[in-house]
Structure 1
């Protein structure tokens, strides 16, 4: 699953205004009055409502603990506060060493941004990872910096080199059987680790991470890691622990105020060490597959067409670093995201037992026995399952929004002129839960996504887009959906799921279930 952009960056860190960034105090007003402005009725950029910066300290004080009104708030709650205070468009400015940002909460405006982003959508995100790849360990990447941190032509060239192997339905479908095998092993492990009351242990989150790593490793590394062994240790657990540090580091370094660009902070050193560990372990497996493919080709035999994604990536690009970087990004993005997406779905189904029973009836029909394998054909019959997953991602998206840089002069949003270069935050977690845009948004209603149901129940099509939209849509979307669909088909066919405590969600870099995934699992017939 694609990693979310640092979508809350301006809220926690903010940035210098567009005027300051361009080196002229009048840049934003001048842009608002530019000759190519659509009409005389369009209001200037500086008129967009938002928290007013104070002299010297700007707006950053609002997000500091204790002294700031939003310092102790969850990031998603901050955006709900901004929307309720200022409306569906908010300008965030006056924050040192960063850029202006416009936050949008109306899907009509969100759609307009997507429709105008052009063929090379640009976003300035993951600054710490970008710096690491370009300066700290540039020899390893050799100019192939991946999709997460690149823009414009560099991004387009990398995307062109990887999208064929990543997006072909046939290439994805071939992984259904191995992903089903991992899911079956995980189901058996869940049976073993639950207590006499059916409750999963407090470290259940880590077991879901193990399942996710084992699943994505089949795709990205073309190998099994053994993550679901009862006493897994060593390299797989090091990778899981490293990813936890990576996400925490991105939040601390890229979103919260930090001086890591000027001083080597403890968090920066911990972050760099975690990336290095993750790369070292991952690349050992990647290199094994590179060597195996080289041997096949050197022998002059027919390598066939039943190739893994990693092999297809290697054959599609003259530079093996492209395949290796893509594999690293799949691993990095495919552990926490799919695990927490599954946790959110199970939580919502536990809170809506009638919907869970309706889903179980479908699964019992498509999978007559608890151990019936999930196939690509059977997945096509699980329409309610896919609808439930989509509804869960609407209500509890792992990524709360998407970041885009306005690529052109002349964009008008809600009758305000937006200068070129302004960062625009598309707050899909807010719009997707707003009853103005999604009918009965507070209710978990998988049926709203089924064909033949009331088309108006879905709401605005741009109110919820968990994988993004357009040229920069998540390249790992189909693999993430496959993993989530297969696991939940197996898990909910085998168990009735309950969540005996009050669930709380929190938003740091990701929007996740804060309380442990200690679900109660009761065997089904």
Structure 2
């Protein structure tokens, strides 16, 4: 009984779970055998940077006095990997610590032990915002919740988003927004073909595409003059992400007790976003389809008897938040790497000319299946520049990694971005080599562990928008490269910094040169 009480307390402290939720996990999980745990070395013996009393290692991230740049998390983590080894325990403040896992075999162990309901510690301020408004939201949503609440929300929509045949119905709609972006590029580029910064246009393309898929409506995001509502939605989503990041990275959790400036930003942006999204949902004919026969996600949800109006609103808000910047990020870096590796771009274009000889053929399921080299290029781009440093988990059972006891309630980050840049996992890791992902062309390229690169996460909490995101970015990149030769048009490399996820630094300046059919 004493041991269980200690375990519940530990789980609650480390993962921000209530004692009741922690107790429920204990009652429904099996643990590593007691003999294995007893023989393992204590968790606090895992090497890592030495903490100071009370403030731990948080001082290392402070401006001027700290040795880490919080916007360069992968570089910080790689330095710790070299100094301390494949397991690093980082005490941040008080007794709160994070276990960083760098070896793919250990990542395998983490995921194999996560159980039916993987837990994570994320988007806590957004969770509070929604729990404070039970008349609007059914729960904290898929990002913020854990356990039964998370599972119920995800279950309502996963059959629509993770079923490839279901997602394929949106190919014509996605193609239309891709064509609209290409028309915009033709209009905004200079006489030399240069677009000063493609990023804002990619963000608006993603938002417009998701509007067609999620609520079956044109949002007007790709109108070059914009609309007040689309601009307000764009700004609200951006502000939400910034506010969530600020609250997550805050040295204290004061926002939990009174409205700090960052929490007020979250409230304001979410109120604006909620007002706009609710209008979209109210305007929907639940039985309507697009001119191509596709039925929006919200229409499909309304046809599910178990989905309440609050469920639907919560899910659609989640989807708009999730799909805003990640897909744009992947497209941006794929175009960047292909513009810096013209031989690879030429190979993609050769493939596209074979699939679309005249350039006027519609994209179909069959043509997408033939884009093998394009997909290898996208995958290689995500290896070098993923939109997330890795995946976070809170352990729901005791386990052992490398002979160390990892107790229930431990916060773990599997460091995939660092793992992807290690010679031991990917030879010549700094080079853009799509062939490493192709079976016939692999040659001397060894097959990497499937746990080394997980851009969309893993298991039951894998990114629910993965299938849609891949479809969107394949279609857009294919259309761009079938129409243009893309060249990087800037003196400084295009790079990313770590915010809540990775985000681009500076403009993406590209030159779009017409190609003849």
Out of 177, 180, 186, the residue aligned to residue 182 of structure 1 is 177
Q: Which residue is 1:154 aligned to?
A: 149
Is the Cα–Cα contact under 8 Å of residues 215 and 299 in structure 2 kept in the other structure? no
Deviation at 1:132, TM superposition (A): 0.7
2:70, 2:498 within 8 Å by CA — same for their partners in 1? no
Q: How many angstroms apart in 1 are the aligned matches of 2:366 and 2:382?
A: 24
Residue 117 of structure 1 corresponds to: 114
Would the aligned equivalents of 1:66 and 1:72 in 2 still touch at CA under 8 Å?
A: no
- Of the candidates 195, 215, 230, which is equivalent to residue 200 of structure 1? 195
In the alignment of these two chains, the number of paired residues is 485
Q: Who is 2:6 aligned against?
A: none
Listed one character per residue, the Cα deviations across residues 339-390 of structure 1 (whole Å, up to 9, x for unaligned) are: 1111111111111111111111111111123343222221111111111111
Return 5+ residue gaps in structure 1 as ranges.
1-14, 24-33, 297-304
1:253 aligns with 2:247: yes
8 Å contact 1:44–1:417 — kept in the other structure? yes
2: distance between equivalents of 1:21 and 1:201? Answer: 46
CA distance in 2, matches of 1:162, 1:281: 21
The alpha-carbon deviation at position 194 of structure 1 amounts to: 0.9
Alignment pair present for 1:139 and 2:135: yes
| Matched residue, 2:219 | 225
1:9 corresponds to? none
2:256 and 2:410 map into 1 onto residues whose CA distance is 22
Three-state SS of the structure 2 residue aligned to 1:187 is helix
Distance 1:232 1:22 in 2: 45
CA distance in 1, matches of 2:336, 2:15: 45
- Aligned pair 1:510/2:468, yes or no? no
User: Cα deviations across residues 50-95 of structure 1 (Å, max 9, x unaligned)?
Assistant: 1121123322111111111114661222212221221111111151
Rounded to whole Å, the distance in 1 between the matches of 2:170 and 2:15 is 50
Unaligned runs of 5+ in 2: 1-10, 20-31
Partner of 1:84: 82
Within-5 A mapping of 1:352-391:
352-391=341-380
Return the TM-score normalized by structure 1.
0.87
Looking at structure 2, the residues matched to 102 and 306 of structure 1 have their Cα atoms a distance apart, in angstroms, of 44
**Residue 37 of structure 1 contacts residue 417 of structure 1 at CA under 8 Å; is this kept in 2?**
no
Please name the residue that 1:281 is paired with: 276
Contact kept, 8 Å, 2:87 with 2:100, in 1: the verdict is yes
2:12–2:18 CA contact under 8 A, matched in 1: no
Secondary structure at the counterpart of residue 139 of structure 1: coil
Shifted more, 104-113 versus 366-375: the winner is 366-375
Contact 1:59–1:95 at 8 Å: present in 2 too? yes
Which portions of structure 1, spanning 4 or more consecutive aligned residues, are displaced by more than 4 angstroms? 15-23
Mapped contact 1:438–1:460 kept (Cα < 8 A): no
Report the Cα distance in structure 1 between the residues aligned to 2:100 and 2:299, rounded to whole angstroms. Answer: 41
How far is 1:262 from its partner?
A: 3.6
Q: Say which SS state the counterpart of residue 135 (structure 2) adopts.
A: helix
User: Residue deviations 1:284-320, cap 9 Å, x none?
Assistant: 111211xx227x8xxxxxxxx9633222222123412
| 1:47-62 equivalence runs, <5 A | 47-62=45-60
Cα 1:194–1:100 change in 2 (3 A) is same
Deviations 1:243-301 (A, max 9, x none): 21112112211124253234422222122111111111111111211xx227x8xxxxx
